[in-house]
């Protein structure tokens, strides 16, 4: 039999048996012992894993001295080299939940060690970690320890062994927001007909795609004097130099490109589109129809705008995930900001 996997456990002052609210200010400490829920947790691993030690920190200390707390916690974990880090369960305790969530997320992200936590669905700490960490769904108070720990132990054994987890409702963890493509036993049209019949008969039904929530961005302040401003041209229309040197995808872009247009009067003659989502014939004739460098250069010459920025930025919009778009936007935005660009003409298709 292989060696039992090593678990490092994190609890707050209360579950660390230091004290209640009056002890919430204590600094973090580490003991190579099984403190509080860690003992029961280890028993539930049935010999497959062992708790090598418990980190304890006051809830107030963690939230008020976040940097110092993290320095100690991360150093401790690095030194202990556990196979898995477990935080909580925090139930509906807000400050404890924040600590459990932040620690679990950081350990996974920075150290690449699997982490596991447990929280009530409304715990504010959930938002800090749920997309990166498996969080077991628990009742709202510590009375739920008896149901939370066995579920956490069961999942811990799978995580430590690198086994794939089943669906959230089957395993008992809170959905991470990952939309995974799977097969249904019925084709889509049949499911649609059944959903419609349920609606027509006023019976219960469940949508397969809850509507997304969109974020809102406040517009930047207006440019006061356009004739002194540097304007950059950015497009999601898939306009690239002939040959597509950076191999930007025709759909579902994974990257963007930037090209020096400081000496060009137009894109025509050197650029074309690799975008798979619209009729490319007219864009290939004159790529400036999608990204109007020609007009911008004319406006520059006429003094309407101060300068067209030297680089043109491009990617493909069709089928590109919002996650990738956010990344591209932040990367391109940072470059333009650093280059002192005042405004951007952003064209789609």
Site residues (vs another protein, CB under 8 A)? 131, 167-168, 175-193, 195-197, 199-200, 205, 207-209, 211-214, 247, 249-252, 254, 274, 276-281, 317-324
Nearer Cβ to another protein (60/250): 250
Residues 24, 26, 31: CA angle, nearest 5 degrees: 115
Q: How far is the CB of 132 from another protein (least distance, A)?
A: 10
Q: How far is the CB of 152 from another protein (least distance, A)?
A: 18
Nearer Cβ to another protein (76/324): 324
Q: How far is the CB of 302 from another protein (least distance, A)?
A: 30
Nearer Cβ to another protein (12/249): 249
Distances (CA, A) of 138 to 82, 95, 152, 271: 24, 16, 10, 56
Nearer Cβ to another protein (67/178): 178
Decide: residue 242, CB within 10 A, 0-12 exposed, 13-18 middle, 19+ buried.
Answer: exposed
Nearer Cβ to another protein (3/207): 207
Alpha carbons 149 and 141: distance in angstroms, whole number? 13
Q: How far is the CB of 151 from another protein (least distance, A)?
A: 16
How many Cβ atoms sit within 10 Å of the Cβ of residue 303? Answer: 10
**Tokens 């292989």, located at residue:** 2
What is the token pair recorded at 251? Answer: 């759909």
Alpha carbons 293 and 44: distance in angstroms, whole number? 66
Alpha carbons 253 and 320: distance in angstroms, whole number? 5
CB 97 within 8 A of CB 88: yes
Q: How far is the CB of 136 from another protein (least distance, A)?
A: 14
Q: How far is the CB of 275 from another protein (least distance, A)?
A: 8
Nearer Cβ to another protein (67/179): 179
């Amino acid at each position: 039999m292989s060696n039992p996997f090593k678990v490092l456990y994190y609890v707050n002052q209360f579950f660390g048996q230091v004290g209640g609210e009056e002890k919430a200010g204590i600094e973090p400490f580490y003991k190579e012992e099984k403190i509080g829920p860690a003992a029961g947790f280890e028993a539930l691993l049935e010999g497959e894993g062992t708790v090598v030690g418990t980190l304890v920190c006051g809830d107030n200390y963690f939230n008020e001295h976040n940097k110092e707390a993290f320095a100690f916690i991360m150093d401790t974990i690095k030194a202990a080299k556990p196979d898995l880090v477990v935080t909580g369960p925090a139930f509906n305790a807000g400050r404890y939940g924040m600590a459990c969530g932040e620690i679990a997320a950081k350990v996974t992200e920075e150290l690449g060690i699997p982490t596991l936590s447990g929280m009530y669905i409304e715990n504010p700490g959930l938002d800090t970690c749920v997309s990166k960490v498996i969080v077991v769904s628990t009742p709202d108070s510590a009375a739920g320890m008896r149901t939370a720990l066995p579920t956490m132990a069961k999942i811990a054994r799978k995580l430590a062994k690198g086994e794939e987890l089943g669906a959230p409702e089957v395993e008992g963890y809170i959905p991470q927001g990952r939309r995974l493509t799977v097969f249904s036993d019925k084709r889509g049209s049949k499911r649609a007909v059944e959903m419609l019949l349920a609606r027509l008969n006023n019976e219960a039904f469940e949508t397969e795609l809850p509507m997304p929530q969109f974020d809102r961005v406040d517009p930047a302040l207006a440019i006061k004097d356009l004739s002194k401003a540097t304007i950059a041209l950015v497009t999601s229309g898939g306009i690239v130099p002939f040959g597509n040197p950076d191999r930007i995808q025709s759909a579902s872009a994974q990257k963007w490109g930037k090209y020096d247009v400081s000496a060009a009067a137009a894109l025509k003659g050197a650029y074309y589109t690799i975008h798979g989502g619209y009729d490319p014939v007219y864009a290939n004739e004159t790529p400036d129809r999608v990204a109007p460098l020609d007009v911008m250069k004319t406006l520059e010459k006429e003094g309407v705008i101060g300068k067209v920025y030297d680089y043109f930025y491009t990617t493909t919009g069709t089928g590109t995930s919002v996650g990738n778009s956010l990344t591209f936007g932040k990367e391109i935005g940072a470059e333009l900001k650093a280059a002192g660009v005042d405004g951007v003409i952003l064209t789609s298709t």
